[in-house]
Amino acid sequence: MSYQIIDGKAISEQIKEECRKKVAAYKEKGIEITLAVIQVGADPASSVYVRNKKRACEFCGMTSLSYELPEETTHEELLTLIRKLNADDKVNGILVQLPLPKHIDEDLVIQAIDPKKDVDGFHPQSVGALCIGQPGFVSCTPAGIIELLKRSNIEIAGKECVVIGRSNIVGKPMALLLLRENGTVTVCHSRTKDLKEVTKRADILIVAIGKPKFITGDYVKEGAVVIDVGIHRNEDNKLCGDVDFESVAEKTSAITPVPGGVGPMTIAMLMHNCVGSVELI
Active-site residue, selected from the candidate residues 120, 203, 228, 244? 120
Which candidate, 246, 226, 230, places its Cα nearest to that of 154? 226
Active-site residue, selected from the candidate residues 97, 117, 118, 213? 97
Closest CB 183 distance from ligand NAP, rounded Å: 19
Q: Which is nearer to ligand NAP, 136 or 171 (CB)?
A: 171
Neighbour-count burial of 236, counting CB atoms closer than 10 A to its CB (0-12 exposed, 13-18 middle, 19+ buried)? exposed
Closest CB 116 distance from ligand NAP, rounded Å: 24
217, 218, 227 from 49: Cα distances, Å: 31, 34, 21
The residues binding ligand NAP (CB under 6 A) are: 141, 164-167, 169-171, 188-192, 195, 208-210, 229-231, 242, 262-263, 266
Q: Which is nearer to ligand NAP, 39 or 266 (CB)?
A: 266
CA–CA dist 157, 134 (Å, integer): 19
Closest CB 209 distance from ligand NAP, rounded Å: 4
CA–CA dist 31, 165 (Å, integer): 39
Q: What angle do CA 145, 15, 144 make, to 5 degrees?
A: 15
97 belongs to the catalytic site: yes
107 belongs to the catalytic site: no
Closest CB 78 distance from ligand NAP, rounded Å: 22
Q: Which is nearer to ligand NAP, 91 or 185 (CB)?
A: 185
Q: Which is nearer to ligand NAP, 81 or 121 (CB)?
A: 121
Q: Which residues are the active-site residues?
A: 53, 97, 120
